[in-house]
Homo-oligomer: A and B are copies of this chain.
Amino acid sequence: MVNETQHTCSASSSSKSDGGSSSGGESSKDSSRCSTPVLDADRHERLREKMRRRQDSGDKWFSLEFFPPRTANAAVNLISRFDRMGAGGPLFIDVTWHPAGDPGSDKETSSMIIANTAVNYCGLETILHMTCCNQTKDDITGHLQKAKRLGLKNIMALRGDPTGEEWEEEVDGFNYAVDLVKHIRNEFDDYFDICVAGYPTGHPEAESYEADLRHLKEKVFAGADFIITQLFFRSETFLKFMKDCQAIGITCPIIPGIFPIQGYHSLRQLVKLSKLEVPQEIKDVIEPIKDNDAAIRNYGVELAVTMCRELLGSGLVHGLHFYTLNREVATTEVLKRLGIWKEDPRRPLPWAVSAHPKRRVEDVRPIFWASRPKSYIYRTQEWDDFPNGRWGNSSSPAFGELKDYYLFYLKSKSPREELLKMWGEELTGEESVFEVFTCYISGEPNKNGHKVTCMPWNDDPLATETNLLKEQLEKVNRRGILTINSQPNINGKPSTDPIVGWGPSGGYVFQKAYLEFFASSEIVTALLKVLKKYELRVNYHIVNVKGQNITNAPDLQPNAVTWGIFPGREIIQPTVVDPVSFLYWKDEAFALWIEQWAKLYEEESPSRMIIQYIHDNYYLVNLVDNDFPLENCLWQVVDDTFELMN
């Protein structure tokens, strides 16, 4: 009777995802999901505790609902959106359950895998929806076990649509959401935080508003931790509902579901599915402008902002849940106008922290994957322990196979034609490659007038921090030092520094200068002679695709290259240059030449052979200047090298 999937309005909506793939960088998220020693309050908190703490502190929050995409390309876009919208600091996101889309499968577009990506790769606290209608107990237990294994800790327990007309209650079956709640608590004890749906105007199929409230109370008393409501159009609707819930003894958090109207058609479809009544005054505004998407969206934003202000102003509401329809603009606009979008998300660590419970203590990573954090997370997902405090020199376990690496969410966001425009339809020699690297750094268009906004090793434009080195990087790339990773030295900047800062305020952050690049064997020969002069000061690792390895690193010790000192804390050293993992990274870095670049061209074509030549003959080099309080000497090392060659 109680049809709860209607609640998940966005899941049944056919709205197209917004196609833009503008990139935003891997900025880390706010404290709502920090799992590092730096920010302890959140370290081992579960979602319901985070909610309670925000309520106690009066810190308003928001959450975002997404539905699984239909295609792998749309999935790549959705994940970029997770990163960008995650930067605004949602307390959590949720991913709807799509019964028609094989939601518990390993498909790249399944609800399960999208939620897995959000938690593990984007570091977002995530709720996975799950419906129980027409499913066996074993199926459901299987899904829940899988969710647990993937690091998901929160379930939205729903009934789902009965299939077929003649649906009847099954004895001992899963007939209602409450059965799923009970099942989760029976089988998984207190492992999951459970959310259930609430209907501010009563469920359309319920006998009455009061009966629906009683159903809700049953779900809560069966073990649900909080409630998210179906959308509504007037704040009074929600506030009355909330009071009615409290009157019958529901005391858990009740989070209003906010639906910013984004277009005429999506609104109509939603209303049809959810059987909600759109108030006449809204219809009156929308009908005359129904063909003007921008106008409708502006109106929808205005309406949502007004309603949210009323809700927050009531003092009864601490968080707002947004039905995004997988779109960014309207929701982001509402959040910014409400002032609860984090404009300057503090980073708990210099890199994005994964939200998998297993990785909670992780606070050290090799620098090599700085621009490919998802690849690092993927390749280390089988680890039982994650380094914290110290990387250690014998503790780095095996990295996942490179072959696993070409998973959809690690692929470039750009299509082949775009890449060819950026990296050259036809290469004429190694110099054409130098030019591509140089244009990526400089931001200038290449000789065909196209800007180079990504590289095989870096799917996003240059990081702000790297911009500090732009001039020197441009100069050396032009001459064949093909840089793929670098950081400037930092001698004690405040942890709140907008570019290089991370961790709690009141601290100081430090870095050793780092430079990583591909270079020809001629350059490497000269470089090695020059490096003799810098012995002790500069540590280097030089390796080619065959694994020939030249280094002056003592033993196989890692070198800490980023660290922070904070009030009342132990020292955090989140980035290291680790000799062992460098050899794993080397495989990946060389493979990217072929897989992402060479394969754009016909086999046997000159362009392909040029890339293949570089792959076969160049060296991958990393340099660390240990004297972080002095001026970075790595540019001098490179200059000396070129001078020696002349």
Chain A residues at the B interface, C-beta cutoff of 8 Å: 37, 40, 388-392, 491-492, 506, 508, 510, 536-537, 539, 552-555, 557-560, 563, 565-571, 573, 576, 624, 626, 628-629
B570 touches A391 (CB 8 A): yes
The reply to whether B388 and A390 form a contact with Cβ atoms under 8 Å apart is: yes
- Beyond the given A537-B567, A560-B569, A571-B571, please list 5 additional residue pairs across the A-B interface where CB-CB is below 8 A: A553-B568, A557-B569, A565-B628, A568-B624, A571-B573
B565 touches A570 (CB 8 A): no
Are A539 and B568 closer than 8 Å at their CB atoms? yes
The 4 closest A-B pairs by CB, nearest first: A389-B390, A567-B626, A389-B389, A539-B568
Q: Are A555 and B389 also in contact (CB < 8 A) when A563-B571, A571-B560 are? A: no
The interface residues of chain B lying within 8 Å CB-to-CB of A510 are 565
> Can you show 22 pairs from A to B with CB atoms below 8 A apart?
A37-B557, A40-B554, A40-B555, A389-B389, A390-B570, A506-B536, A506-B537, A506-B626, A536-B567, A539-B567, A552-B568, A553-B568, A557-B568, A557-B569, A558-B570, A559-B567, A559-B569, A563-B571, A565-B628, A567-B626, A568-B626, A571-B571
- Bound together, the chains give a CA A567 to CA B559 distance in angstroms of 7
Q: Contacts A506-B537, A508-B629, A557-B40 hold; do A565 and B563 have CB atoms under 8 A apart? A: yes
Chain B residues lying within 8 Å of A629, measured Cβ to Cβ, are: 492, 508
- Closest B residue to A508 using CB positions: B629
For the complex, give the distance between the alpha carbons of A553 and B569 in Å: 9
**Are B539 and A557 interface neighbours, CB within 8 A?**
no
Query: Taking CB as reference atom, which chain B residue is nearest A569?
Result: B557
Which B residues are CB-close (under 8 A) to A392? 389, 570
Residues of B within 8 A of A389 (CB): 389-390, 392
A366 to chain B, nearest CB (A): 12
Chain B nearest CB: distance from A73 CB in Å?
A: 42
Least CB distance from A619 to B in Å reads 20
**Nearest chain B CB to A391's CB is how many angstroms away?**
6
CA distance A566 to B558 in the complex (A): 11
Whole-angstrom CA separation of A326 from B626 in the bound complex: 45
A632 to chain B, nearest CB (A): 15
Q: How far is the CA of A565 from the CA of B509 in the complex (A)?
A: 13
Measured CA separation A586–B116 after assembly (Å)? 48
**Beta-carbon contact of B568 and A570 below 8 Å:** no
- How many whole Å from A540's CB to the nearest CB in chain B? 10
CA distance A558 to B559 in the complex (A): 24
**Chain B nearest CB, measured from A57 CB (Å):** 15
Specify the chain B residue showing the minimal Cβ separation from A578.
B570
Distance of A542 from chain B, by nearest CB (Å): 15
- Find out whether the CB atom of B553 lies under 8 angstroms from the CB atom of A559: no
Can you name the residue of chain B whose Cβ is closest to the Cβ of A558?
Answer: B570
Task: Specify the chain B residue showing the minimal Cβ separation from A573.
Answer: B571
Which of B388, B491, B553, B559 makes the CB contact (< 8 A) with A492? B491
Cα–Cα distance between A224 and B555 once the two chains are bound (Å): 30
Closest residue of chain B to A563, judged by CB?
A: B571
- Return the chain B residue nearest A388 by Cβ: B390
Residues of B with C-beta under 8 A to A506: 536-537, 626
B554 near A560: Cβ-Cβ < 8 Å: no
* Bound Cα distance A536, B496 (Å): 14
Distance A388 CA – B508 CA, assembled complex (angstroms): 23
Nearest B residue to A625, CB-CB: B567
Minimal Cβ-Cβ distance residue in B for A506: B536
Chain B residue nearest in CB terms to A556: B40
Q: Which residues of B contact A536 (CB under 8 A)?
A: 506, 567
Report the bound CA distance from A555 to B566 in whole Å.
14
Measured between beta carbons, the chain B residues less than 8 angstroms from A628 are 508, 565
Give min CB distance, A322 to chain B, whole Å.
33
Residues on the B chain within 8 Å of A557, using CB: 37, 40, 568-570
Q: Which residue of B lies closest to A510 (CB)?
A: B565
**Complex CA–CA separation, A386 to B628 (angstroms):** 30
How far in angstroms is the closest Cβ of chain B from A233? 44
Contacts of A390 in B (CB 8 A): 37, 388-390, 570
Q: Which residue of B lies closest to A492 (CB)?
A: B629
A558→B560 CA distance, assembly (Å) = 21
Please give me the residue from chain B that is nearest to A626 by CB atom. Answer: B567
Q: In the complex, how many angstroms separate the beta carbon of A559 from the nearest chain B beta carbon?
A: 5
- Cα(A510)–Cα(B629), bound, Å: 12
Q: In the complex, what's the smallest C-beta–C-beta distance from A367 to chain B, in angstroms?
A: 13
Question: In the assembled complex, which residues on chain B have CB atoms less than 8 Å from the CB atom of A554?
Answer: 40, 568-569
Question: A392-B389, A570-B391, A629-B492 are known contacts. Are A565 and B555 too (CB-CB below 8 A)?
Answer: no
Please tell me which one of the listed residues B388, B559, B568 contacts residue A568 in the complex, with CB atoms under 8 A apart.
B559
CB of B570 within 8 A of CB of A573, answer yes
Chain B nearest CB: distance from A36 CB in Å? 12
| Shortest distance from the beta carbon of A569 to any chain B beta carbon, whole Å | 6
Contact residues in B for A537 (Cβ distance below 8 Å): 506, 567
- Residues from chain B with a CB closer than 8 A to the CB of A553 are 568
For the complex, give the distance between the alpha carbons of A569 and B578 in Å. Answer: 10
Give Cα distance in the complex from A565 to B569, angstroms.
17
**Bound state CA distance, A37 and B392, in angstroms?**
9
Q: Which residue of chain B lies nearest to A579 when distances are taken between CB atoms in the complex?
A: B568
- CA–CA, A558 and B491, complex, Å: 23
A37 / chain B contacts, CB cutoff of 8 Å: 390, 557
